[in-house]
Amino acid sequence: MTATPDLEPLPLGATRPLPQPGNARTLIPLLAQRLHSTAEVIEDRGDPVRFQLDIPGIYLDGVGERTRCLAACGDDDQTLASIRKFWMTHGSATTGVVFVFCTSAGAHAHACRIVPPGCGLVLAPHEVTGLLHHPDARPLLKRRLRERFSRRRLSLYNIGLPATDNRFFGRKRELAQLLENPITHFAIPGPARVGKSSLLQAYKASLVRLRDPRATRTHEIDFYALPDTRPDTVARHIAMTIKPSYRSSQVHAADLVQFFRFCSVQESTQEKREKPEPLELLLDETDEVCGGEAFRYLGQAARHGLVRLILAGKKCLYDYATRSDSVLGGRVRVLRLESLDEPEARDLIRRPLEDLGLSLCENVIHRILAQSGRRPHLIQYYCQRLVELTVERSLDEITPALLDELEKQGDFPQYFLMPLRELKDPATRALALALLRTGRPRFSTADLLELAPLLGRDADLERVLQACDELVIQNILAWDSGGYRIASQALRHFAGQAGLLNRN
């Protein structure tokens, strides 16, 4: 990491000279100090210098960890070629915002010709000077970003992607459990978009940030796009993700235990450890594969201490992890993702919206919290659509009236009603509608037993709890401190508006 000098704020009216041409490397620690960030030089050939910044406290898309930057102080052909190469390498709309810090008029002119407006942030010499003159330059940098990029481009809210970097809010309790129980296997079941993949990625990023030795032996394995779920195909997918080679491409399910033993010994030899340590496997979208033969051998490897498993999935994973007859039965802790704590949910609403230059009152925050049930994907859906409305209406404030307008848009309620419409089993659907009709926010065991007859004449508490777990996976109920509650107030509200709660 680049060392940052101790910079005191300048006296009023004083100026700090910019680094001279050819001294781009001296600019980097100054910027890191003012942005309260860490900087790492990637390529240093004099001028320009390519580096990356980890900037905390900015909740705008594409800015945060590993922000790609260039410090340019010269104005010659070499500067022009370096800026062009930097843009061609990192100037993709999908890799975040790139920064070019220019301390000479020539470098600024070159950068403006190469970096298209609205695609990268090119800062002129006087703007760089402004950053260097502030003890905390992050508000000024946010302002520059809002001036150069559309609000849509900078919005963090995206329900289609896992939340990484500055998108990840809350889950401190769950993250601590994964970090502080290094020999415990975990299953993370839950509905779509509740934050399972985000938690896996946040765990891996935390290991890297904490310089935890587990980081070097951690492997993410996603089964979402696996077209063939036969055991040998699953085993090869696992092996090729961990160690791509011809040998891995020939692995069979029955070979997995020996494969993990080989990998563990090899990694311990490379890192000069006294004894092999288990591989950390983060397995995502496991529902279609967790009951197969490959996972039986995966469970054997876990019993032998060759791997530590953190699995994410939906109902099939939940059943697999809680069944006593599965190879992992009793050996894996089920980590249920409940709603965000209120301070975490408030931050998810307030911080990105304020960084976009939007103001909102306490009534708006309270209403989104209530309607969303503090579910992260529902909060994001509300805020994403509100950002769109402020752009369309050229507004800088989110008011209760704007929330009213959003909730009356025809497609908005359908997003919340989709889980009800997708229920196929008539008895489970009848139970869901009955729970919504009660008007209760939370349900105890006694409450659920009253509704058992809806599932059949012989339905008992176990059958009711199984149905409720299914409703959790369908985003209709939410786990809540050992009980259940309605996932969101908006679901009940829109179901009533649509007439779904009227008794036949």
pLDDT (tens, 9 = 90+) of the chain, 504 residues, equals 333 333 444 444 444 555 554 467 888 898 999 999 999 998 887 778 999 998 888 999 888 888 899 999 888 888 899 999 999 888 765 567 899 999 899 999 999 999 988 889 999 999 999 998 888 899 999 999 999 999 999 998 987 776 676 677 878 899 999 999 999 999 999 888 788 888 999 899 899 888 999 998 999 999 988 888 999 999 999 999 999 999 999 999 999 999 999 888 777 666 666 678 899 999 999 999 988 899 999 999 998 899 999 999 988 888 888 877 777 767 889 998 888 889 999 999 999 999 999 999 999 999 999 999 999 989 999 999 999 999 999 999 999 999 999 999 988 999 999 999 888 889 889 889 989 998 888 888 888 888 888 887 777 888 888 888 889 988 899 888 778 999 999 999 999 999 988 865
Residues in the chain: 504
Tokens 């920064």 found at: 99
Residues 188 and 326 in one domain: yes
Instruction: Choose the final residue of a domain: 300, 334, 368.
Output: 334
Rounded to whole angstroms, how far apart are CA atoms 271 and 332?
28
Q: Would residue 9 count as lying in a domain? A: no
Residues 83 and 135 in one domain: yes
Residues 150 and 185 in one domain: no
Residues 96 and 139 in one domain: yes
Instruction: Choose the final residue of a domain: 315, 334, 353.
Output: 334
Determine the structural domain holding residue 421 and report its residue range.
Answer: 417-497
- Provide the b/e sequence for 402-427 (b: ≥16 CB within 10 Å): bbeeebeeeebbebbbebbeebeeee
Q: Would residue 198 count as lying in a domain? A: yes
Residue-level pLDDT at 373: 92
Tokens 């779904």 found at: 500
Residues 6 or more apart whose Cβ sits within 8 Å of residue 244: none
Angle, helix 196-209 to helix 172-180, in steps of 10 degrees: 60
Residues 229 and 346 in one domain: no
Q: Residue 154: enclosing H or E segment and its boundaries? A: helix 151-154
Sign of the dihedral through C-alpha 425, 426, 428, 429: positive
Rounded to whole angstroms, how far apart are CA atoms 53 and 38?
6
Instruction: Choose the final residue of a domain: 277, 305, 334.
Output: 334
Q: Would residue 213 count as lying in a domain? A: yes
Q: Residue 101: enclosing H or E segment and its boundaries? A: strand 99-102
The 3-class SS string of 25-58 reads HHHHHHHHHHCCCEEEEEEECCCCEEEEEECCCC
Residues 132 and 231 in one domain: no
Torsion of CA 227, 230, 234, 236, to 10 degrees: -100
- CATH number (domain holding residue 347): 1.10.8
Residues 423 and 389 in one domain: no
* Most distant CA atoms of the chain, gap in Å: 84
Q: Would residue 2 count as lying in a domain? A: no
DSSP state, residue 325: T
Tokens 């000479």 found at: 104
* Contact present, 46 and 22 (Cβ < 8 Å): yes
> What pTM was computed for the model?
0.85
